[in-house]
């Protein structure tokens, strides 16, 4: 039995026609390698449900989207494989926590998970390529952050590596692998930097949870990676620097073509309390929206984006409501600068 991410109307409560839309959103309900909290595979449906509550009018811009945004139907592969593989992954994580090594059976299951995760990446890569061939902007709704790799790969190849990734996150995500998972959510940006035709610049914002391996990787690749640690940003703010000036500095690191990878846990946990790996600190909602707006006003071209790690709570739509508003802002960035 399969299911569909669906609603009586489309994303943001609008009826859309794919052929007329300038942004195509791909839902990916996948969280196979999540290592702490779960629920982000429910993110795409929760965001869709909450999105109809948004008013599509902006104080500065008027009607905030002039073009249509179309949400694709969910591919059954993601939900079906996620459900099966998540069970195996939990057992692997449990064995490592308890014994520090894997049984023969779990080692075999780990290989299977890595193989199926590679298929997931390839499928998203192909879907993103198809969107790009239609001269439309690809957007992805996760799911955990591992789902971003195929989309970033397709966009980077189209522009022959001449793109930058603006990575908003609590975590550096630069581990070579995590718990044996080659496509872990904790390794997404390491995998991005390892692409044959990868982005020429990675700019990270809000990072506040990372290991020594990741810190050394950042230092080793300082010409390619610019990391704005949350601690340093807060020190600057508390010392009297304006957020606008910090945003200008962040944006100056990026080339003309920009892909935005937005992990919701880049925000302060008050805005995403049920995300899988919340970390104290982070950006306020207003700071994130201002940064995105400043990026749009800079004249840079947004060539794709993703929003990941939104996990709905057991009651209420707060996480999904915030996620839907971030998604709306990301979609709006694909319009001409004079409309942002």
Kindly list the structural domains of the chain, giving each domain's residue range(s) and its CATH number in brackets, ordered by start: 11-339 (3.40.800.10)
pLDDT band at 2 (very low <50, low <70, confident <90, very high): very low
For the residues 119-146, what does the mean pLDDT come to? Answer: 98
Could you tell me the pLDDT band of residue 115, with boundaries at 50, 70 and 90?
very high
Lowest-pLDDT choice from 95-104, 135-144, 178-187, 308-317: 95-104
The neighbour count for residue 242, using CB atoms within 10 Å, is: 10
Strand segments (E) across 89-239: 137-142, 164-168, 201-207, 225-229
The rounded mean pLDDT for the chain is 92
pLDDT at 10 over 80: yes
Q: Which of 329, 306, 202, 206 is nearest to 255 (CA)?
A: 202
Strand partners, 205: 168, 228
Interacting residues of 211 by C-beta distance below 8 A, sequence separation 6+: 175
Could you give the C-alpha distances from 6 to 72, 102, 142, 255, in angstroms and in order? 9, 39, 15, 36
Nearest Cα to Cα of residue 260 among 154, 163, 158, 121: 163
Q: Three-class SS of residue 153?
A: helix
Rounded (to 5) percent helix, strand, coil in the chain: 45, 20, 35
The pLDDT of residue 339 is above 70? no
């Amino acid at each position: 039995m399969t299911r569909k991410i669906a609603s009586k109307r489309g994303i943001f409560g609008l009826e859309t026609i794919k052929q007329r839309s300038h942004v195509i959103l791909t839902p990916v309900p996948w969280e196979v390698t999540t290592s702490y909290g779960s629920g982000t595979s429910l993110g795409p449906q929760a965001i869709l449900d909450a999105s109809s509550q948004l008013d599509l009018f902006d104080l500065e811009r008027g009607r905030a989207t002039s073009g249509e945004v179309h949400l694709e139907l969910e591919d059954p592969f993601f939900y079906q494989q996620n459900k099966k593989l998540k069970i195996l992954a939990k057992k692997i994580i449990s064995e490592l926590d308890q014994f520090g090594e894997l049984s023969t059976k779990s080692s075999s299951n780990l290989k299977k998970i890595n193989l199926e995760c590679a298929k997931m990446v390839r499928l998203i890569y192909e879907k993103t390529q198809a969107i790009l061939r239609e001269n439309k902007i690809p957007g992805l709704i996760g799911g955990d952050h591992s789902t971003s790799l195929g989309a970033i790969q397709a966009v980077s190849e189209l522009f022959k590596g001449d793109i930058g990734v603006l990575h908003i996150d609590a975590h550096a995500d630069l581990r070579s692998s995590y718990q044996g998972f080659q496509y872990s959510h904790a390794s997404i940006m390491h995998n991005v930097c390892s692409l044959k035709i990868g982005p020429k610049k990675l700019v990270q914002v809000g990072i506040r949870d990372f290991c020594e391996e990741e810190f050394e990787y950042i230092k080793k690749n300082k010409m390619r990676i610019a990391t704005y640690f949350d601690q340093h940003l807060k020190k600057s703010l508390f010392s009297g620097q304006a957020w606008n000036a910090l945003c200008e500095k962040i944006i100056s690191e990026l080339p003309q073509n920009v892909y935005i990878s937005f992990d919701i846990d880049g925000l302060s946990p008050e805005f995403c309390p049920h995300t899988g790996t919340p970390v104290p600190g982070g950006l306020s909602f207003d700071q994130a929206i201002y940064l995105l707006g400043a990026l749009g006003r800079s004249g840079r071209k947004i060539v794709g984006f993703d929003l990941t790690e939104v996990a709905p709570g057991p009651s209420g739509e707060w996480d999904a409501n915030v996620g839907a508003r971030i998604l709306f802002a990301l979609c709006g960035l694909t319009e001409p600068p004079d409309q942002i």
